[in-house]
Structure 1
Amino acid sequence: MKTRYIPETLQRAEVDAMQGAVLLEFGANWCGHCMAAQAPLADAFAGHEDVAHYKVEDGPGRPLGRSFRVKLWPTLIFLRDGEEVARVVRPLKAGDISAGFTQIDPH
């Protein structure tokens, strides 16, 4: 599991072409809601270490976040073979996040 949001380096076409289970997490390192979600995310991530995890630093004018219509942080987007299958916004409980993992990762 990644621990810091990094400035946007992915392009939407790259994301759409990704194979397998992927978690895109949009947020910012200074965001209180994002910090609060990290412990439940770590709990939910346990057992799903094979899921590729990208922490994307988001903000106004960032094209990747806009292409996914991200409005609040953190927004977790669960992808399977480049297709969105689940989304969780501002999670506070590991169970809310686990439901997304269940849809993309059979483990």
Structure 2
Amino acid sequence: MYSRLYESQEPERAAVDARPGPAVIEFGAPWCGFCIGAQGAIEAALAQHPDVHHLKIEDGRGKPLGRSFRVKLWPTLVFLRDGEEVARLVRPSTMGEIGEALDEIDPRARP
């Protein structure tokens, strides 16, 4: 399910790694133009995958979770299945590319 707001409190990496099932971590910032521009495609793609947990993290200098995933540009989407990274998109622009990555972690949602 799509999260509209960025979380300023990030979870510990161990909690992310232990999370069961499909999940997407979106790293970005509410003032980032690329992040704002990607929201429509992210929301539309996630609408096709209601069982995928979406965690939207406000990233920045010195934020440990983003650094542990080696995030350099925003938005970066990290696609996880049972805590393991399966795919990654940096500055995605289309619903199609996001949907393909979601299919990799949530195959039950395929038509």
Q: Same fold by TM-score, threshold 0.5 exceeded? A: yes
Q: CA deviation at 1:4?
A: 1.3
2:77 equivalent to 1:82: no
Aligned length, in residue pairs: 107
Q: Which residue of 2 aligns with 1:69?
A: 70
CA distance in 2, matches of 1:24, 1:101: 12
Q: Which runs of 5+ in 1 are unaligned?
A: none
Q: CA RMSD in A?
A: 0.7
Q: Tell me, in whole angstroms, the C-alpha distance in 2 between the residues paired with 1:71 and 1:8.
A: 19
Task: Give a deviation string over 1:67-104, Cα, whole Å, max 9, x none.
Answer: 00000000000000000000001011111111110100
Distance 2:80 2:66 in 1: 14
TM-score, structure 1 normalization:
0.97
Aligned match of 1:104: 105
Identity %: 56
Q: Give the structure 2 partner of residue 11 of structure 1.
A: 12
* Contact 2:41-2:93 within 8 A present in 1 as well: yes
Taking the aligned partners of 1:46 and 1:9, their CA distance within structure 2 comes to 23
How many Å separate the matches in 2 of 1:95 and 1:83?
22
The gaps in structure 2 that reach 5 residues or longer are: none
- 2:24 alignment partner AA: L
CA apart distance, 1:8: 3.1
Residue 38 of structure 1: aligned partner: 39
**Contact 1:40–1:92 under 8 Å retained in 2:** yes
2:10–2:65: 8 Å Cα contact kept in structure 1?
Answer: no
